[in-house]
Structure 1
Amino acid sequence: MRSRSTAIAVAAGLVLAGVAASPAAAQDRVLRADRSVVRACHEALLPPGTAGVDRREVTSGVDGLIQARLTPGGGSEGDWDLAVFDKAGGKVVAGSAALRSRELAESFVTKGQRLVVQACRYGGPARTVTLGVDFLALTPQGTPTRAEVVRVDTPERADKDKLLGLDLDLTEKGDATGVEVVLADDADRKTLRDSGLTYTTVDADLSRTSRDAAARDRSYATTVAASGLPSGRTSYRHLYDYEYELKELARRDPRRVKAFTLAEPTVEGRDVVAVEIAENVGNAADGKAVNLLMGVHHAREWPAGEHAIEWAYELARGGDQAVRSSVRGTRNVIVPIVNPDGFAVSREAEPKGDFTRFDYEMKRKNCRAADSPPELRTGICKANPGGTARGTDPNRNYAGFWGGNGAGLAWNSETFRGPAPFSEPETRNIRAIVSGRAVTNLITLHTYGNLLLRPPGVADVRPPLEEPVVKALADKMASRNGYRSIPSWGLYDTTGTTEDWSYWATGGFGFTFEINTAGFHPAYENAVVAEYLGTAPAAGAGKGGNRAAFLDMLTNAADPAAHATIVGTAPKGHKLQVRKTFRTPTSPVRQPDGTTTAPIQITDTVESDYTSTGGRFTWAVNPSTRPYVAGRYGRKPQGPPQAAIALANPPGVPAENKQYPTNAVAERIPFTVGGQGVDNGRFDVSVSWTSTATDWDLYVLDAAGAVVTQSASGGSNSERATLLDPPPGEYTAVLVNYDQVDPASPDDWAAGKVEFFSPLPPTYGVSEAYVLTCTDRHGRLVGLTDVFVDRGQTVDVGAVCSDSARNGKQRRR
């Protein structure tokens, strides 16, 4: 989605203020603590001389931002945290609590404000760190506008494609016939009006809605001592809360919980923090299936991070017997904040809710500036002349079908795909986990729409051969949270998304959850507490909520039928690895000038390691054949399709009706689907008339009177409604006279028919193998074989680490 808003921009000729009011000596930048003390540095302003703490006082010379940074002070790396406090009131202004001594605390300050920068030694050997403090002067920019949410009618694929081409701020709340869209200002409203697409207003004043939600959150946090969440939390976290709580979970139970830093820092230099939870967590190469849960690819989608960290609390604290049993058989990686730069901007920004370019609270993307025009590349992410428009959408930057429809081509698009697949550190971090850990199960959390999405993101790709299995798992989880379970393209086309790379390239199941229907970060008690626990007013009330859905996914990860298994024998201490390197094309790459260039070939390496404890081993891996080359789902026709049926137009023209189905006035033409020996993979009901200014709407009802498909677009002279694999039975085409140019001389529909098509048969591709190697304690290769293994299959490789086994091994399928 696209975020915008009233703004703050960096003033020209920006001057950096030093650590003190006058230039500071170099030694003043070195902070010292002789011992470490476990505490939350951001929780309170501590007195001078407190053990484990050093501090500096500064005064802001500007209305703008403070940036306080820590870097390692010597040869050793420790864990220091950082916080900035208002000296007069003692209130925390900014904080940072990652796992090392590389911290960035950043927030807004006023001229003359007296501040205390407090550094706390949490752990590790480093007695010193180096502090840097900058002040950035800001000038307010932009004019507040009225933002609104509208539902755009998109009953046909062409309507969705047209809407995607408008580059408006699309939400993830939608269905087969419409999508909710944020209109930030009059320019957006004009763009939508000029498109000819029809729409209705859902929320006429988003700013007011945002203020109301913030007020409700304050009330909830002050009146409720502890929620029913595993952590008891009652309000949205800041980035420093996430960082501190994750490492505290690890400190309290180091045998089962490990906090770690992902491979790459962000554009602004922040570390990305995650946890792994498992029995004997330190032995990552124990052969167990890996379950990955992540949140906040999109900065403004705060509930996504909250659900992820609450699941970490759930697993770390043992939960019920079902949780404990599944944890024993799996390894669980949780990354609550994939995009910490963007989240820090959104979470610390002044609440506005108007979605203009300078509404930093509604920022969606990361903080990449290099793709924006040169004159807009200055300034930091929290305040710059490009506002929230700068950046790449991390969830359009993965390699899966990158370059195709459903992603923005321009730097300022809210779904900007980036200059190349995996151009962003955020996506490379997740790629490293998925590729290097044989992740068998993956959920990525977003807001909003009450949807549970599965691959593919583009309808033309066709479902994988495993579609029935993938759909069944999605449907089971959706039965817990009350979300609609649909393929991703059922909302609208998307390319470059997380699971459309991870699933097609590795075979690990992948799904997107779109949490709640009220907004990106609406009231905490609903979007987090109720949705997680499955209490009213959440759609999963009484069904278990997202907690139960996450448990379904965890249980699936532990089930050998849901992944592949390699068994055999190996001496103690020997290291086994399965590895596969392959190339996969992106989509043909759409260009801003309307042309399309050839697909890009992306090289991926997928590997999994196992360290033998001696004797027999069992090792969970993904299928050796990736779904991209395995084939596509379908079924063979059992007979010819049914002959076409002409729809007879009843006499007369019904009155105009803009309120169907509330107003039942319409024409109804029954037809029958099915017959002896026929096999219908799909039917299309179509009608046409003369003028594009006339508007007829088409609905198709089954024998029970339920709408099974529809087409209700505007600005055309035809409608077409499609139903896949239609059950035999009686149906009714309903024609609604929505609008006539001249009611006195009506433009009646003239041609109508039902056409039937055969099902598409499945396609089957090649089988791929892993290369399995075994090395001894000295790193010498002592075993080598190819392994072909499918989902649910167990392959015995025998004594793979012996020379005789290597030389005599038969390749197995």
Structure 2
Amino acid sequence: MVSSQRKPVLRAVLAVGIGSAVVVGLTTPTSAAAENVLRADRAVARSCFASALPARTPGVDRREVTSTVDGLIQARLAAKDKTAGDWDVAVFDKTTGKLVAASAALGSRELAESFVVKGQQLVVQGCRYAGDARSAVLGVDFLAITPQGTPTPGVAAKTAPEQAELVRVATADQQDKNKLLGLGLDVTEKADATGVDVVLAGADDRKVLQDSGFRFEVLNPDLSATSRDNARKDVEFAERTKVTGLPSGRTTYRHLWEYDFEMKELARKNPGLVQAFTLPHPTVEGVDVVGVEIAANVANKADGKPVNLLMATHHAREWPSAEHAMEWVYELVDGYAHDTEIRDLVKRTRNIVVPVVNADGFSISREAEPKGDFSRFDYEMKRKNCQASDSPEQYRTGVCKANPAGAQRGTDPNRNYAGFWGGAGATTSWSGETFRGAAPFSEPETRNIRELVSARQVTNLLTLHTYSGLVLRVPGVFGTRPPLDEPANKALGDLMASRNGYTSQPSWALYDTSGTTEDWSYWATGGYGYTMEIGLDGFHPPYETGVVAEYLGQAPAPGAGKGGNRAAFLDMLRNAATPAAHSTLTGTAPRGYELALHKSFQTPTSPVRQPDGSTAPPIYVQDTLDSKLTATGGKFSWAVNPSTRPYVAGRYGREPQAPPQQSIQLANPAGVPAENTRFPVDQTAERIPFTIKGMPEVDNGKVAVTVDWGTTATDWDLYIVDASGQTVTSSASGGTNTETAVLYDPPAGEYTAVLVNFHQADPSVVDDWGRGRAQFESPVPPTYGPKESYTLTCKDRRGKIVGLADVYVDRGQTVDVGAVCTDSARETKARKK
């Protein structure tokens, strides 16, 4: 036992519902070693997790402990006083020297957590990395837990894991996609006009899908085998590959502590170019979220340059997204030294990268065993964060890495932003993979990004996900018309897609998504916002294909030979550096004076869908945008977003240049094709050609092709194919006696309506489709809303406001605010009236 005079941090931990109370014991030979304060006389910039260092190594203090449970170790560090410092922590197996857990964030708030067995001897190592703090407080807890996947007292659980599979669900239209999302299944981001890939974790999920009436086919019958195989491939690739062509040369997926350590190492080695920082809100588990900024004279954040923000890993299991983000950091740092174009772009912009937004969830997913069965205790496939407060009471106990609800507990951060929050495209169920959370911005992860974007003029934002090979732009909800920026948004999305071989489309074309990052950031600030869904093969496929090939544009990635995601990221950076893509304020101000732009407003969410299916009124969310520029004396130039936020600026459309085309009647050919449930594998169908005309004769904004038949017990499916044989739209629902396939702004050309006889109610009495037509509508004209202004203020060196003006500025426009910091500016305005 430990003497009461030594005062170590020894906490009795009760893991309610998953274990028993356990008191931590410290098996250390001396009184000093048993103390809860780690001490080091000097800082040494080294990795704390690379190896267990000998006692009395400079910059290191350590404790030896023995696990008293089969369960978890939590080794936490905290600052002892207000002295600035950066301490890291790592836990090693004493016998083998193998790393068990680590943490390397900025500052001294650290959490190293992993699984241990009873009797395991461990070394807890604290390392003073930087700063003046000579000490840090160590806390070590052991938590007894039941084995993952086995029944927990008082909570029902399956007796054996089930085999997960990936299926392709046929969805005829947006209504079908929304219905599918409402089933509570694990819907992936891989979808197109005719279907969506869905993960079925077992028999219960399969029954839900079967009972829904959707048609589906199995793509992968054993996702567990795929997960284990991917893990094996990663080990083999790392063993045979010393260095890759990635900017860092990396060969394996990183751990959270490696991301954090590499960012602060890059900052230490490049002090004028790179600065690591901690976002304001720790996670639910108390982990700091770390980002990095790259710019010439990086410390001067108020220099007025456009800000390019790239972030990743809102979803825990999407490991390649974080890898791409981290490689982009190395790309910019290395390119600044060796690449003329990158050096020029970095000089003209400020670049912020947050590789792991959802630090809790990612750490759990990354450290879990490769199960891949998508069961409740498959932590490797955890998607959400670690929020427990929205769960039923019996599921709120225990730490996130081992709790009665397993990976199901938490909020989807990418459904928690205010943009259209509460509408279609997110679930109200706490256990659903797209659970939206209790309220807009209820989660620390989304509050971090909100405050970052709101305090900087983020002109370009790119958030990375996996998987489906898509470049997605606003809006995320089908019922929301595109913004006035739609042509420019599409052009930039198309350009990036030309580099990585992905498909460029509005987010709603995947399926409705509400509460997403860019649907808040773009509509509220006007900064361009995109989601990139990396790759085509799983949430974290083998590193060689999912990271190396996709980033560099190598086979088998769709961007092979086109530049890959590296080239797409450069396209976004070039756009950020282009004045026509944002707005610019110019003028003059004395050296050291501070200019500030301010705007505060309310924006409604979607009407809020309730768990019982009803709808409540929208919630009005207040946003405040504040950004600053420090004058260097004389003329200044400040890259900003448009003063009018896109939410009120208006909606995209075009004035009709000609009347719409007259309706076309589709003639039913003689005979009836045989029943066919395997289209397009089986091409048996009827085909009716028709022509869509174009300018200057007609201007078609929309065409709707409709067919009807007698009874809802019969099922015909409708596909529209263009002259190249590509399916451009379809309608293949069941339980109806009509199908309507819609195409917006259809290009002029030859098309074919393909009618598939999916099922006849009575084969002896054929229920043939009898009426078909293509109906055309004019394009919808644009709408324009009111203009909004920024409030521009100027403060002198004493902090006194000496200038004030309302500023209106549009995208691509440069507005000269004059000598806004002096009385002469007011006099000049008076003379102009």
- TM over 0.5, yes or no? yes
- Say if 1:684 and 1:324 are closer, same or farther in 2 by CA, change over 3 A: same
| Superposed displacement of residue 349, structure 1 | 1.1
Equivalent positions of 1:536-551 (< 5 A) are: 536-551=555-570
Aligned to 2:706, the other structure's residue is in SS state strand
Query: 2:730 maps to which residue?
Result: 710
Can you list the C-alpha shifts for 1:358-377, whole angstroms capped at 9, x where unaligned?
10111110101000011111
Which of 506, 514, 523 does residue 487 from structure 1 map onto?
506
Which of 57, 62, 72 does residue 55 from structure 1 map onto?
62
1:586 paired with 2:613, answer no
Partners of 1:668 and 1:40 in 2: CA distance: 66
Partners of 1:613 and 1:635 in 2: CA distance: 44
| Superposed displacement of residue 755, structure 1 | 1.4
Partners of 1:735 and 1:9 in 2: CA distance: 59
Partners of 2:811 and 2:424 in 1: CA distance: 31
1:498 paired with 2:517, answer yes
Q: Percent of counterpart pairs with the same letter?
A: 66
Query: 1:236 maps to which residue?
Result: 253
Partners of 2:402 and 2:470 in 1: CA distance: 33
Please report the TM-score for the alignment, with normalisation by the length of structure 2: 0.94
Query: 2:719 maps to which residue?
Result: 699
Worse overlay, 146-155 or 72-81: 72-81
Q: How many residues align?
A: 806
Query: 2:5 maps to which residue?
Result: none
| Superposed displacement of residue 639, structure 1 | 3.5
Equivalent positions of 1:709-788 (< 5 A) are: 709-788=729-808
Q: Residues 595 and 795 of structure 2 are in contact (CA less than 8 Å); yes or no, is this contact kept in structure 1?
A: yes
Query: 1:269 maps to which residue?
Result: 286
Aligned to 2:654, the other structure's residue is in SS state coil
Can you list the C-alpha shifts for 1:316-351, whole angstroms capped at 9, x where unaligned?
122522211110100000000001011111111121
Q: Residues 18 and 133 of structure 1 are in contact (CA less than 8 Å); yes or no, is this contact kept in structure 2?
A: no
Partners of 1:248 and 1:114 in 2: CA distance: 31
Can you list the C-alpha shifts for 1:501-522, whole angstroms capped at 9, x where unaligned?
0000000000001011110111
1:121 paired with 2:128, answer yes
Structure number with greater CO (CA < 8 Å, separation at least 6) is 1
Q: Which amino acid aligns with 1:264?
A: H
Equivalent positions of 1:51-130 (< 5 A) are: 51-130=58-137
Worse overlay, 447-456 or 745-754: 745-754
| Superposed displacement of residue 647, structure 1 | 2.0
Q: Which amino acid aligns with 2:461?
A: L
Query: 1:44 maps to which residue?
Result: 51
| Superposed displacement of residue 10, structure 1 | 5.5
- Say if 1:30 and 1:382 are closer, same or farther in 2 by CA, change over 3 A: same
Query: 1:613 maps to which residue?
Result: 632
Partners of 1:812 and 1:230 in 2: CA distance: 55
Q: Which amino acid aligns with 1:758?
A: S
Query: 2:689 maps to which residue?
Result: 670
Can you list the C-alpha shifts for 1:465-487, whole angstroms capped at 9, x where unaligned?
01000000000000000010000
Can you list the C-alpha shifts for 1:775-799, whole angstroms capped at 9, x where unaligned?
0000111111111111111001111
Worse overlay, 736-745 or 440-449: 736-745
Which of 450, 470, 476 does residue 431 from structure 1 map onto?
450
Worse overlay, 72-81 or 548-557: 72-81
Partners of 1:483 and 1:606 in 2: CA distance: 33
Q: Residues 399 and 496 of structure 1 are in contact (CA less than 8 Å); yes or no, is this contact kept in structure 2?
A: yes
Q: Residues 9 and 139 of structure 1 are in contact (CA less than 8 Å); yes or no, is this contact kept in structure 2?
A: no
Query: 2:415 maps to which residue?
Result: 396
Aligned to 1:592, the other structure's residue is in SS state coil
Can you list the C-alpha shifts for 1:282-330, whole angstroms capped at 9, x where unaligned?
0000000000000100001001100001100111122522211110100
Partners of 1:263 and 1:542 in 2: CA distance: 41
Partners of 1:361 and 1:172 in 2: CA distance: 18
Query: 2:342 maps to which residue?
Result: 323
Q: Residues 28 and 63 of structure 2 are in contact (CA less than 8 Å); yes or no, is this contact kept in structure 1?
A: no
Q: Residues 459 and 527 of structure 2 are in contact (CA less than 8 Å); yes or no, is this contact kept in structure 1?
A: yes
Query: 1:369 maps to which residue?
Result: 388
Q: Residues 28 and 64 of structure 2 are in contact (CA less than 8 Å); yes or no, is this contact kept in structure 1?
A: no
Structure 2 unmatched ranges of 5 or more = 1-14, 151-157
Can you list the C-alpha shifts for 1:94-146, whole angstroms capped at 9, x where unaligned?
00000101100000011111100000000111111111100011112253110
| RMSD of aligned Cα (Å) | 1.9
Q: Which amino acid aligns with 1:549?
A: A
Can you list the C-alpha shifts for 1:439-489, whole angstroms capped at 9, x where unaligned?
000000000000100000011111000100000000000000001000000
Query: 1:510 maps to which residue?
Result: 529
Partners of 1:525 and 1:602 in 2: CA distance: 43
Partners of 2:29 and 2:829 in 1: CA distance: 74
1:11 paired with 2:30, answer no
Query: 1:5 maps to which residue?
Result: none
Q: Which amino acid aligns with 1:660?
A: F
Aligned to 1:474, the other structure's residue is in SS state helix
Q: Residues 16 and 397 of structure 2 are in contact (CA less than 8 Å); yes or no, is this contact kept in structure 1?
A: no
Worse overlay, 435-444 or 745-754: 745-754
Worse overlay, 329-338 or 723-732: 723-732
Query: 1:789 maps to which residue?
Result: 809
Q: Residues 653 and 783 of structure 2 are in contact (CA less than 8 Å); yes or no, is this contact kept in structure 1?
A: yes
Partners of 2:629 and 2:290 in 1: CA distance: 24
Please report the TM-score for the alignment, with normalisation by the length of structure 1: 0.97
1:279 paired with 2:292, answer no
- Say if 1:704 and 1:45 are closer, same or farther in 2 by CA, change over 3 A: closer
Q: Residues 198 and 714 of structure 1 are in contact (CA less than 8 Å); yes or no, is this contact kept in structure 2?
A: no
Q: Residues 651 and 783 of structure 2 are in contact (CA less than 8 Å); yes or no, is this contact kept in structure 1?
A: yes
Q: Residues 687 and 750 of structure 1 are in contact (CA less than 8 Å); yes or no, is this contact kept in structure 2?
A: yes
- Say if 1:16 and 1:441 are closer, same or farther in 2 by CA, change over 3 A: farther
Equivalent positions of 1:437-452 (< 5 A) are: 437-452=456-471
Aligned to 2:562, the other structure's residue is in SS state coil
| Superposed displacement of residue 746, structure 1 | 2.2
Q: Residues 24 and 68 of structure 2 are in contact (CA less than 8 Å); yes or no, is this contact kept in structure 1?
A: yes
| Superposed displacement of residue 744, structure 1 | 2.9
Aligned to 2:235, the other structure's residue is in SS state helix
| Superposed displacement of residue 613, structure 1 | 0.6
Aligned to 1:180, the other structure's residue is in SS state strand
Q: Residues 256 and 359 of structure 2 are in contact (CA less than 8 Å); yes or no, is this contact kept in structure 1?
A: yes
Aligned to 1:34, the other structure's residue is in SS state coil
Aligned to 1:460, the other structure's residue is in SS state coil
Partners of 2:523 and 2:456 in 1: CA distance: 16
Can you list the C-alpha shifts for 1:728-779, whole angstroms capped at 9, x where unaligned?
3332211111222333332211222211112111000001111111100001
Structure 1 unmatched ranges of 5 or more = 1-7
Query: 1:689 maps to which residue?
Result: 709
- Say if 1:811 and 1:498 are closer, same or farther in 2 by CA, change over 3 A: farther
Worse overlay, 134-143 or 144-153: 134-143
Partners of 1:803 and 1:333 in 2: CA distance: 37
1:565 paired with 2:567, answer no
Q: Residues 602 and 620 of structure 2 are in contact (CA less than 8 Å); yes or no, is this contact kept in structure 1?
A: yes
Partners of 1:542 and 1:677 in 2: CA distance: 41
| Superposed displacement of residue 13, structure 1 | 3.2
Which of 139, 142, 149 does residue 146 from structure 2 map onto?
139
Partners of 2:134 and 2:89 in 1: CA distance: 15
Aligned to 2:479, the other structure's residue is in SS state helix
Aligned to 1:809, the other structure's residue is in SS state helix
Q: Which amino acid aligns with 2:95?
A: A
1:212 paired with 2:232, answer no
Which of 297, 300, 305 does residue 288 from structure 1 map onto?
305
1:408 paired with 2:415, answer no
Equivalent positions of 1:330-341 (< 5 A) are: 330-341=349-360
Q: Residues 465 and 534 of structure 2 are in contact (CA less than 8 Å); yes or no, is this contact kept in structure 1?
A: yes
Q: Which amino acid aligns with 1:429?
A: N
Partners of 1:196 and 1:765 in 2: CA distance: 43
Aligned to 2:549, the other structure's residue is in SS state helix
| Superposed displacement of residue 727, structure 1 | 2.6
